[in-house]
Amino acid sequence: MENHKIYLPLACMAFMGLASSCTNNQKNDAPKYNIVYIMTDDHTAQMMSCYDTRYVETPNIDRIAKDGVRFTNSFVANSISGPSRACLLTGKHSHINGFKDNETSCFNGEQQTFPKLLQKAGYQTAIIGKWHLQSRPTGFDYWEILPGQGDYYNPRFITETDTVRNTGYVTNIITDKSIDWLENRRDKSKPFCLLVHHKAMHRNWMPELEDLPLYEDKTFSMPDNFFDNYEGRQAAAEQEMSIDKDMDLIYDLKMLEDGKDSRLKGAYLGILNTMTPEERKVWDEFHKPIIEDFYKKNLKGRELAEWKYQRYMKDYAKTLKSLDDNIGELLDYLEESGLAKNTLIVYTSDQGFYMGEHGWFDKRFMYEESMHTPLIMKLPEGMERRGDINQMVQNIDHAATFLDLAGVEVPEDIQGESYLPLLKGENPKNWRKSLYYHFYEYPAEHAVKRHYGVRTEIYKLIHFYNDIDQWELYDLQNDPTEMHNIYNNPEMKDVVGDLKTELVRLQKLYQDTTALKLN
C-alpha cells in the first residue's frame, strides 16, 4: 500500500485540553493500559474472513483475531449508526442516553461518558472519523470528525475551530490522522484512549480508485434465503430494504447514463462532485463499459435481482480492500512504535449488515445479521487469553470494560457489564444469559417497524409495535436464518411465557417503561 501521509492537511491544528489528575475513583494498583478502539460502519461479520470465508479475505483485520480474541456472540442494543455510538459512549440503552434514532435525536454532550471519566483519571482521549451524533464531541482532548456521513473522496473534517476539506480517500485520511495524533500530537507521558471511527463500509460503497478493477471476475454465492417470501413475518414483508426493489441503480450501483433517472440520482451526482476532474475521469472510464452492458441486456425479474446482488457485493468488497489495508498500516505502526505491548486494540462495527440474506441490504432489524456485530481484540502483554469468547456481550458493555481496564470505578448507572474478566480468561458463572434490544426509527427510510425483544442462547422473541402488533419467535438452534416464526405454535406456549417473563425482567432492569406498557 503506497504511503499516503501527504494527505494530512497542514491547516489542521490540534485542540489539546489537559486531562485532570487522577481522582479517588482510580484504583492505584491498576496498570495504565492504552486503548485503541477501531469502529467501522456497517462492516458485518460475513465480510470478515476471521468469521466467514465465503466471500472475501481480510488478512490485516484477521491479524487482530489471530493474535488475540474473537467474540462469537457480540450484539448491539439498537442496530443503527447514531444510537449505536451513543450506547458505546454512555454504556446505556437508547431510551436512557436519549439518542433513539438518526431522524430526531441529538446527543446530549453534557451527560456522563466513558471518555470523560477516563479524562478525570489522567487519560488523554481523542476521536477521529465518523461521529454522527449531531452535537459537537465532548470528553475528548482532541477531535476531528466527518460532518454527517462524510464523503469517500476529498472529505471535509470538522475541527474545534474550522471545517477543512482534505485531499484523498477518506479511509486513508482517517488512518493518517490517527497515526499523526499517536506520534505527534498527544502527551506521551499519559495513557491514552483513541477512537478511530471509519466511514467505510457505509452505503454507497465507493472504493479507492486503484481498487476499482478488483473482484470483477468473481461471482459471489447467493444466500439460500435471498428470495425469501416472508411467510408469517409481516414486518419483514413490509420493509423497504430489498436489493431487488429498493436498491437504487444509480446511487447504489453507479449505473449513471444520460436519460436515465432514479430517486437518488441527485444525491449520487453530489457525491461525484467531491472528486477532482482527474478522479472523475478514472471513475467514469471504469464504469462506462459496465453501464453500457447493463442497459443493453435489459434485465428483468430474478435476473435483474441477481445482477444487482453481484454488483452490490463487488462494490462492498472493493471498498473493504482499502479498509483492510489501512487496518494493517495502523497495526504496523502500533507494533513498530512499541505501543502494542501496552494497548488494548479493539476492532468492531456499529452493527451488522445484510449481504443479501432475506434479499436485503442495510440493518435495523433484530434478526441475527444486523443485531450481531463483529468484535475482535488484540490484548496487551500480561493478558494471555486467546481464541474464541462465546459469552454474550453487547455494545453497552464497552464503556464499563474500558473503565475497568483503566482502573476506574464503574458508575452504578452504567447499564453495561465489564467483560474484562472474559479477557482475563475467567468464566463468571453469573454471566448474562439474555440480551435486550429496542429499535425506534419508524416511520423512516427503509420502513422497518419499531420493535423490541429478548435474545437468549436458544430463542429470540420480538414484538413489532406502533402501527402494527405482531410477535415473532425463533428457535436459533434449529432455524439460525430465522425463516420460521413459531410464535403461534401451541407447543411453544411455555417457551413464549418464559421469554415474556424474561423480557419484562430486562425492561424493568433497564428502565424501559415505554416498552413495558406495550406488553
DSSP code per residue over 184-210: IIS-TTS-EEEEEE--TT-TT----GG
Residues of the chain with CATH 3.40.720.10: 33-205+319-427
Query: pTM score, two decimals?
Result: 0.94
Instruction: Identify the CA nearest to 157 among candidates 41, 39, 166, 178.
Output: 166
Q: Which of 164, 123, 129, 122 is nearest to 143 (CA)?
A: 129
SS3 349: strand
C-alpha separations of 136 from 37, 133, 164, 398 in Å: 19, 8, 16, 21
For residue 320, give every residue at least 6 positions away whose Cβ sits within 8 Å of its Cβ, in sequence order, or none.
43, 47, 56, 58, 200, 201
How many Å apart are CA 311 and CA 308, to the nearest integer?
5
Contact between residue 95 and residue 105 where contact means Cβ atoms under 8 Å apart: no
CA distance 116 to 89: 9
Burial of 378 (0-12, 13-18, 19+ CB in 10 A): buried
Task: For strands 387-389 and 69-71, give the pairing.
Answer: parallel
Domain 449-518, what architecture? 2-Layer Sandwich (3.30)
CA distance 90 to 111: 8
33-205+319-427: which CATH architecture? 3-Layer(aba) Sandwich (3.40)
Alpha-carbon distance of 336 to 330, in angstroms, equals: 10
Q: Strand, coil or helix: what is 163?
A: strand
Amino acid at 509: L
Q: Which three cell numbers stand for residue 186?
A: 498527544
Strands (E), 302-370: 343-349
Distance (Å, whole) CA 379 – CA 139: 25
H helix or E strand, kind and range, residue 312: helix 301-336
Please provide the distance, in angstroms rounded to a whole number, between the alpha carbons at the two ends of the chain: 54
Q: Are strands 343-349 and 375-378 parallel, antiparallel or unpaired?
A: antiparallel
Do 519 and 500 form a contact (C-beta atoms < 8 A)?
yes
Domain with CATH 3.30.1120.10 in the chain: 449-518
Q: Measured between alpha carbons, how far is 97 from 94 in angstroms, rounded to an integer? A: 5
pLDDT by position in tens, the chain (length 519): 334 432 233 223 332 332 333 333 555 555 689 999 999 999 999 999 999 999 999 999 999 999 999 999 999 999 999 999 999 999 999 999 999 999 999 999 999 999 999 999 999 999 999 999 999 999 999 999 999 999 999 999 999 999 999 999 999 999 999 999 999 999 999 999 999 999 999 999 999 999 999 999 999 999 999 999 999 999 999 999 999 999 999 999 999 999 999 999 999 999 999 999 999 999 999 999 999 999 999 999 999 999 999 999 999 999 999 999 999 999 999 999 999 999 999 999 999 999 999 999 999 999 999 999 999 999 999 998 999 999 999 999 999 999 999 999 999 999 999 999 999 999 999 999 999 999 999 999 999 999 999 999 999 999 999 999 999 999 999 999 999 999 999 999 999 999 999 999 999 999 999 999 998
The DSSP call for residue 227 is T
C-alpha cell at 33: 493500559
Grouping H, G, I as helix, E, B as strand and the rest as coil, residue 133 is coil
C-alpha gyration radius of the chain: 23
